[in-house]
Chain A
């Protein structure tokens, strides 16, 4: 049996770190967008009080958690799922799938269509979160890249987009 060997699965620390950073940033951007953008706010208003969702990578993360508090405000709740009641879990099946999503080679909708995501929870809520992610990506990314990342690029006025973009970046980066 000279042709036999056992190997340990390796790791991809740089890709993991990149996805963790993106999830942290997008999580904070969702919190900011829910204050700034009327459509995002309306999407969250349509979800149940205390609604919390997670978006993470299988099998070991990273993960981001976002939820509504008692006052209905949307908050980024970090990465640790321990002790949190999560209504909707969206999990990318593997790190490479997450890289395709977070390097904007595939939109969230396309990744879902290509069977890269597992959704554990209500489908209407998942659809609302996918719409929120699309809007947030439009704010965070230059148009050239955002067009790759979203299903349809929205027809917003330039002034409104720039104003909201500045406020969302300030919220995501500085926590303002």
Chain B
């Protein structure tokens, strides 16, 4: 029976516009946020693919002037933010449109802190001091090459980490024209990152009815679309579904602390410079098997999230957790067939067995809690290293 817990909180301040011609709502939405001169930030790669022109065309008939900075590098730093601060102020911009994920969104969040107050506010926020000023409008137009933190309170610029709920974008637009086809490996990594965030959220001790709803949406969108999109990357509806899933998953991730698979995947990714989504996908089945072994899967409807209502309804309750793990492994195997150089094991991404020990997130890290200790994480990492799917 669905019952509200005694107390819970859920925060998602972002307005979502998704679907056909969603982009054309930008002028009206900016007007509603009292913004008349937006600055678009994007990467040279997305600019070369004509994405900024697609966004600029949405402003037709609006009589607005739009700034475009198409030079966000893969590793942005504070120096770039300071340069963009001058550009923003000198040209009278009053809103930021982040076109693209990862470094674009990290830069946009940091720039928004600087332009909404003083540039020193960035250092203050990095020192864990709370923001005291309301930030200016920030619009996210994401593709499917994501870091997993775009729609969350987190941003990082090299060694500087920023955390504040105020960093979350006010508006997110998901339009098939700005969710272009990506390399299959990138698509798979983004989907597996979202899947990890969703699965860890639905097993999280602090989950609540709203995180469940978002996690369910993310998991279903991914499971129903990932294989079709990998077979046919021109599948617009499928790409839109995966972009929606990323938003759902990131929103639950933002509301709950990061899980063990996420933390371990990020640590391994930093060490071998591989997309963390690929590593999380390889760790996820082992994490679920450990949950089964420790009998910490306290919900018997995990398979509803992963297999869908029909498959769930046709499965005996006691077999349900195992079916959930099997279905994730099946999807991994299908992805490996469709993505030529998809790793089959953690060792395939260049991690040595002797390095695993140093990659175990320290005790006290958000994902390392409850009934888990370093030995559990060590076991998962070793199994993911040994097992080749």
Hey, which bits of chain A sit against chain B, CB under 8 A? 1-12, 16, 58-60, 93-97, 100, 114-116, 118
Q: Given A93-B28, A94-B27, A94-B28, are A6 and B65 neighbors across the interface (CB < 8 Å)?
A: yes
Report chain A residues within 8 Å CB of B58: 94
**Residue among B21, B25, B68, B69 with the most chain A CB within 10 A?**
B21
What is the bound-complex CA distance between A16 and B27, given in angstroms? Answer: 16
Q: Cβ of B68: which chain A residues have Cβ within 8 Å of it? A: 4-7
By secondary structure, the B interface counts as mixed
A94-B21, A97-B21 are contacts. A4–B69 as well, Cβ < 8 Å? Answer: yes
* Nearest chain B CB to A56 CB, angstrom units: 12
With a cutoff of 8 Å between Cβ atoms, the chain A residues found around residue B28 in the complex are 58-59, 93-94, 118
Chain B residues with Cβ under 8 A from A93's Cβ? 24-25, 28
Task: Choose among A3, A58, A59, A96 the residue that contacts B21 (Cβ–Cβ < 8 A).
Answer: A96
Listed by A's residue number, 19 A-B pairs whose Cβ atoms lie within 8 Å are: A4-B67, A4-B69, A6-B65, A6-B68, A7-B65, A7-B66, A9-B63, A9-B66, A10-B60, A58-B28, A59-B28, A59-B31, A60-B61, A93-B25, A94-B21, A94-B25, A95-B24, A100-B20, A115-B25
Q: For B44, list chain A residues within 8 Å (CB).
A: 3
**Besides A1-B83, A4-B69, A97-B24, 5 new A-B residue pairs in contact (Cβ under 8 A), listed by A number:** A3-B69, A4-B87, A9-B62, A59-B63, A60-B63
Contact assessment for A3 and B27 in the assembled complex, using a CB-CB cutoff below 8 Å: no
Q: A106 — nearest CB in chain B belongs to which residue?
A: B20
- Tell me the dominant secondary structure on chain A's binding face: loop
CB pair A1 B71 closer than 8 Å: yes
Give the complex CA separation of A3 and B80 in angstroms: 12
- B308: interface (CB < 8 Å): no
Across-interface contacts of A100 in B (CB, < 8 A): 20-21
When distances are taken between beta carbons in the complex, the residues of chain A under 8 Å from B56 are 7, 9-10
CA distance A54 to B56 in the complex (A): 29
Point out the residue from B19, B24, B70, B71 that lies within 8 Å of A94, measured CB to CB.
Answer: B24
Within 8 A of A (CB), among B8-56: 17, 19-21, 24-25, 27-28, 31, 44, 47, 56
- Could you tell me the distance in whole angstroms from the C-beta of A92 to the nearest C-beta in chain B? 10
Neighbouring A residues of B59 by C-beta, 8 Å: 9-10
Complex CA distance for A5 and B28, rounded to whole angstroms: 23
Q: Give the chain A neighbours of B21 by CB distance below 8 A.
A: 94, 96-97, 100, 116
Give complex CA distance A6, B90 in Å.
Answer: 13
Indicate if B64 sits at the interface (CB-CB under 8 A): yes
Minimal Cβ-Cβ distance residue in B for A105: B20
Query: Known: A4-B68, A9-B60, A114-B19. Contact between A59 and B24, CB under 8 A?
Result: no
